[in-house]
Structure 1
Amino acid sequence: MKQAHFKKLIQPNKELFYQDLAQLIAIPSVKGQAQVGAPYGIENKRVLEKIMEIAESYGFKAHLVDDAVAYIQVGEGDEYVGIVGHLDVVEAGGKWTYPPFELTKANGKLYGRGILDNKGPIFSCLYGLKLLIDQGYRFDKTIRILFGSDEESGSSDIPRYLNQEKAPVFAFTPDCKYPVVYGERGILNVVFETTLSAQSLALISEIDGEQGRSFVPDVLRCMVEGQALAVQGKRAPSNAPDLGSNGITLLAEKIKETTTNEELKHYFTWLYDCLHEKHLGQGLNMAWQDEMSGYLNVTPYLLEKTKTGFKLGLSVRYPVSFTQEQVMAGLEQAANEQTIVTLVRSLPSLLIDKNRPEIAQLTKAYDDVTGLESTPVTTTGATYARFLPNTVAFGPSFPGQKGIAHNVDEYMDESDLLLNMEIYMHAMLNLCE
């Protein structure tokens, strides 16, 4: 099958593709309270049921594993090539131009929560497989597409799946960037808890505003010595802090310039001097890097007043040649006095042999469609590849595209989404030769 033939398959079917994709976007599949038969909340279970309904309408037989992962399969073999994506999404906070849970086409772009991360890309794999099978193509290997429902909140759905099903012999997840991603940096979420006197704490209010570990906070407010302070930053994904403007450090700057209390001034000066626009760890004396994965990356994501002081949350993504122990030692050394550093989440780094023949097949699919000559890369992101053996990330963002997922007005260029489908069709054929 020629590349031009794939384009001719996709173009006349794209509106039907969008109609079914819109049904997935419409479900606000943000993790909710666990219920019987719905471990990640009713909406996350509902989106799994919807993808199964759509897949069955295409003629696939759909399966549900432990109410956590749905999958379809072509072929009967026990060993399978996998494609794994997720249908859960992060909250649609902030001010959106378009309804977040409605697929909107405008100015050559498709908008909606999950269009990029990850409903659009994983559904394009399913639809691309449908187009190939409708054309009569038969695969020499078993291929399975998995739809998860807890990637954004810890990926506990994958262990549930692996408790009942075999791991793939090889898989890719369309939930990162191109070209093939063979390495993912280690990730630590840490909390700095700093003790301040009751007299100082009485001079400042609670910090008001939306904060979470997946994004750079933007709008924050508080009262300091009777004065109302507010900042307007710019939201961005926590793994791309340079694309945002962090409300935490902006607020620290205002507080240190406003307060007459020496203890408050000292704390917020330390916070500002160490972290404001110092995304590469230089303010913490941790400007570390390696050749494979680049620089360490630091993002403040939480500032919270407690009964005894302040809690500061940091997301740290560290190069693959460094260890968790090295990073924690560096953070403890950089911490302000009267501060306890606590590790709250750890994802070790990941390295896959970039010379695996399957990686060469994915690279060929990408290069054949784009006309480029690519080599495998590493990422600051975290994907299912850390939890499912023999898995690499592959797409959907093209080089230079950053800061779209987890943001307001999440979008994909229409042409890019269709180009993804084309690449994934080539990838499925290549992997199943």
Structure 2
Amino acid sequence: MDIQERIDSYFNDSAVRGELISAISRLVAVKSVKGEPTAEAPFGPGPRAALDEAVKLCAELGFSVRDYDHYVGLADMNDKDTQLHILAHLDVVGEGSGWSTDPYTCVEKDGVLYGRGVSDDKGPLCAALFAMKAVRDLGLPVTKNARLIMGTDEESGSGDIKYYYAREPYAPQSFSPDADFPLINVEKGQFRPVFGASWPAVMVEPRVSVLSGGFRFNVVPPEASAEVLGLRAADITPLCPTVERMSGAMFTVTDMVGGARIHCTGKNAHAASPDDGVNAIQAMLELLSALPLAQCQSTRAIRALKERFPLGDTRGKALGIAQKDDSGELTVNLALMTLSETGFSAQFDARVPVCATVENCVQVCEKALGEAGFTLTGGAQMVPAHVVAADTPLVKTLLECYSAYTGVRDPKPMAIGGGTYVHDIPGGVAFGCDFPGFDPKMHSANEQASVDNLIKSAKIFALAIARLCR
């Protein structure tokens, strides 16, 4: 048999399939959401616990391992010079609401795994790990090493990878199994400003005294809540159906002492695909703007926010920053907001195309927010797009391996709005594990991964490792 056939036979073994699922289940069982940092856990106890479990798993599989200052874990395929870095992550976003199963128990049903991290990114990490194991177990002829770098902070800024590469060299070639097949060679830039305003407390009514929504900058906010003093539920409820029809969100309004409490339920989604979600903050701003509120600073701020982040505008049109090129359209997700009696703070997440610049994006945004009386307080720097030429040996080899196991002729690389681990790595690309036509429900409830797709991914990765490291 040739190398491809040997890899195929290896992963068609039911025992290997079971081992892969077992490994994924071990990692999913660790709630690795970012927490308070300590000297021994730079991104909190959850990511540290997942790192410990992953390093233990790799050691059990016979790999040379290292915990790199509790930032990343390393697993080396052999002791030769390193040719390839494979970057995957162990941290996950919060579970949110709406799950049909326990998010931290990996459940298999009809060939599909459910659990937080099965697709982002614990399942793909294990697929890459077992690909390295296959190359080793099969004795495929390699003269170079592949290193799996298991990170703990991809979801919150990739401080883990920055730490590692500030001390260690880049590999000649790198890919991350944290996106889509066939391959991503262009990632949009990122612009995530924090902005707000402050004002003296006032006692006029009706007024919004509290507003909060969102839980992560890179997730469409699924929930928002507000308290309105001087109005009753009966004053607010009749306005809800119109906004519900416009937005797809749902409202619950209840009376409280001195006013009413409003809860909005939307739908979370990845910030790079805001059209897939229902933004609860935007829906809440729409409803609050329609109320007969007193003229005060909080009312003016809410209505100005509604004007600059109106329902349905996920392209930054109202901010004046809408633009597009071959890498796609600029997208905007109003992700976080907290308002009190004395001011507010908010953050949006924009994924910007290659053509975006400081002049046509950052400065225009600053002007639009400034005219509303808002001030940028952080994150005003734009991260440029990441572009790798389609004719590089790495891109061509990886696409050939994808084609070998899928039968897709002449697959083309893609551009995406999401930023992956390789965004700041020279020459790095994103490669798998999501196949066209399968919805992993990433960052949403009931996150899922096809076992067959993970097995196919492992085959593709094994062939790629064998070719890149020989």
Closer/same/farther in 2, CA of residues 311 and 363 from structure 1, 3 Å limit: same
Task: Measure, in 2, the Cα distance between the counterparts of 1:53 and 1:326.
Answer: 48
TM-superposed CA distance for 1:64, in Å, is 2.0
| Structure of greater Rg | 2
Q: Which of 81, 85, 89 lines up with 1:82 in the alignment?
A: 85
Deviates more, 1:400-409 or 1:40-49: 400-409
Structure 1: which amino acid aligns with 2:275? D
Q: Which of 269, 272, 286 lines up with 1:239 in the alignment?
A: 272
Contact preservation (8 Å) 1:240, 1:403: no
Structure 1: which amino acid aligns with 2:7? F
Q: Which of 294, 297, 311 lines up with 1:261 in the alignment?
A: 294
Secondary structure of the structure 2 residue equivalent to 1:386: coil
The aligned residue for residue 303 of structure 1 is: 337
Deviates more, 1:227-236 or 1:19-28: 227-236
Q: Which of 411, 415, 429 lines up with 1:392 in the alignment?
A: 429
Contact preservation (8 Å) 2:213, 2:280: no
The aligned residue for residue 148 of structure 1 is: 151
TM-superposed CA distance for 1:8, in Å, is 2.9
Identity of aligned residues (%): 28
Q: Which of 219, 222, 228 lines up with 1:218 in the alignment?
A: 222
TM-superposed CA distance for 1:239, in Å, is 1.1
The aligned residue for residue 228 of structure 1 is: 261
The aligned residue for residue 10 of structure 2 is: 9
**1:342-399: CA deviation from partner (whole Å, max 9, x where unpaired):** 4426433211222211110011111121111311111111111123333111111223
Secondary structure of the structure 1 residue equivalent to 2:449: strand
The aligned residue for residue 106 of structure 1 is: 109
Give the TM-score taking structure 1 as reference length. Answer: 0.93
The aligned residue for residue 277 of structure 1 is: 312
Closer/same/farther in 2, CA of residues 377 and 255 from structure 1, 3 Å limit: same
Closer/same/farther in 2, CA of residues 358 and 282 from structure 1, 3 Å limit: same
Pairs aligned (count): 432
- Verify: 1:423 aligned to 2:465, yes or no: no
Task: Measure, in 2, the Cα distance between the counterparts of 1:325 and 1:155.
Answer: 26
Contact preservation (8 Å) 2:195, 2:374: yes
TM-superposed CA distance for 1:207, in Å, is 2.0
Task: Measure, in 1, the Cα distance between the counterparts of 2:288 and 2:80.
Answer: 63
Contact preservation (8 Å) 2:213, 2:281: no
Closer/same/farther in 2, CA of residues 401 and 219 from structure 1, 3 Å limit: same
Give the unaligned 5+ runs of structure 1. none
Structure 1: which amino acid aligns with 2:383? L
**1:93-139: CA deviation from partner (whole Å, max 9, x where unpaired):** 22321111111112331011111111110111111221232222231
Task: Measure, in 2, the Cα distance between the counterparts of 1:230 and 1:201.
Answer: 23
The aligned residue for residue 370 of structure 1 is: 406
Task: Measure, in 2, the Cα distance between the counterparts of 1:432 and 1:201.
Answer: 70
Closer/same/farther in 2, CA of residues 166 and 337 from structure 1, 3 Å limit: closer
**1:302-345: CA deviation from partner (whole Å, max 9, x where unpaired):** 12114533323111111112223431112123225222134426
Give the unaligned 5+ runs of structure 2. 231-258
Secondary structure of the structure 2 residue equivalent to 1:300: strand
Task: Measure, in 2, the Cα distance between the counterparts of 1:160 and 1:332.
Answer: 31
Q: Which of 205, 211, 224 lines up with 1:207 in the alignment?
A: 211
Q: Which of 444, 448, 451 lines up with 1:411 in the alignment?
A: 448
Structure 1: which amino acid aligns with 2:122? K
Secondary structure of the structure 2 residue equivalent to 1:198: coil
Deviates more, 1:199-208 or 1:93-102: 199-208
Structure 2: which amino acid aligns with 1:341? L
Contact preservation (8 Å) 1:256, 1:266: no
Contact preservation (8 Å) 1:178, 1:395: yes
Closer/same/farther in 2, CA of residues 118 and 324 from structure 1, 3 Å limit: farther
Task: Let me know the Cα RMSD of the aligned residues.
Answer: 2.2
Deviates more, 1:338-347 or 1:106-115: 338-347
The aligned residue for residue 70 of structure 2 is: 67
The aligned residue for residue 469 of structure 2 is: 432
Secondary structure of the structure 2 residue equivalent to 1:63: strand
Secondary structure of the structure 2 residue equivalent to 1:215: coil
Secondary structure of the structure 1 residue equivalent to 2:190: strand
Structure 2: which amino acid aligns with 1:364? E
Task: Measure, in 2, the Cα distance between the counterparts of 1:125 and 1:217.
Answer: 31
The aligned residue for residue 393 of structure 2 is: 357
Contact preservation (8 Å) 2:77, 2:132: no
TM-superposed CA distance for 1:196, in Å, is 5.4
Task: Measure, in 2, the Cα distance between the counterparts of 1:54 and 1:311.
Answer: 42
Secondary structure of the structure 2 residue equivalent to 1:126: helix
Deviates more, 1:74-83 or 1:422-431: 74-83
Give the alignment of 1:122-201 within 5 angstroms. 122-195=125-198, 198-199=201-202
Contact preservation (8 Å) 1:171, 1:391: yes
**1:238-268: CA deviation from partner (whole Å, max 9, x where unpaired):** 1111001100111011111223324555543
Structure 1: which amino acid aligns with 2:73? A
Secondary structure of the structure 1 residue equivalent to 2:30: coil
Structure 2: which amino acid aligns with 1:358? L
Secondary structure of the structure 1 residue equivalent to 2:191: strand
Deviates more, 1:93-102 or 1:113-122: 93-102
